[in-house]
Structure 1
Amino acid sequence: MTDSELDIVYTRLCNAMTGVGEASASLFLARFALLAIDTIGDRDVSLRLIEEAREGMTG
C-alpha cells in the first residue's frame, strides 16, 4: 500500500469513528479489529500486530 493509499484508508477510518460517535468508537474499533483479524487469517501475524500496537501504550 502506498502512503497515499494508507492516508485514504486512515482518513476513512477516522471519519467512520467520528460517524459512530465517541461513545461507540471503542466498540467500532473492536469490531474492525475482529474483521481485520479474520481477513488476515494468520494467528501469528495477528498476535504480532497486537503486540506492535500495544508497544508504547502502557506506562
Structure 2
Amino acid sequence: MNDSELDAVYTRLCKTMTQLGADKSPLFLARFALLAIGQIGDPDVVGRLVDEAAEGLEE
C-alpha cells in the first residue's frame, strides 16, 4: 500500500467513525480489529501490531 492509498483508507476509517458517532466508535474499532486480525492470519504479526499500537499510550 502506498502513501496515497494509506491516506485514503485512513480517511475512510475516520469518516466512518464520525458517521457512527463517538458512542459507537469503540465497538466499530473492536469489530474492525477482529476482521483485520482474521485477514492478517499470523499471530506473531498481530501481536507485534498490538504492541506497536499501544506504544506510548500506557499510563
Interval containing the TM-score (normalised by the shorter chain): over 0.9
The within-5 A match list for 1:1-59 is: 1-59=1-59
State the identity as a percent: 63
1:10-58: per-residue Cα shift (whole Å, max 9, x none)?
0000011011110000000000000000000001100110000000011
RMSD of aligned residue pairs (Cα, Å): 0.5
The number of residues matched between the two structures is: 59
Gaps of 5+ in 2: none
Structure 1 residue runs of 4+, over 3 Å off? none
- TM-score when scaled to structure 2? 0.96
Separation in structure 2 between the aligned mates of residue 58 and residue 9 of structure 1, nearest angstrom: 26
Gaps of 5+ in 1: none
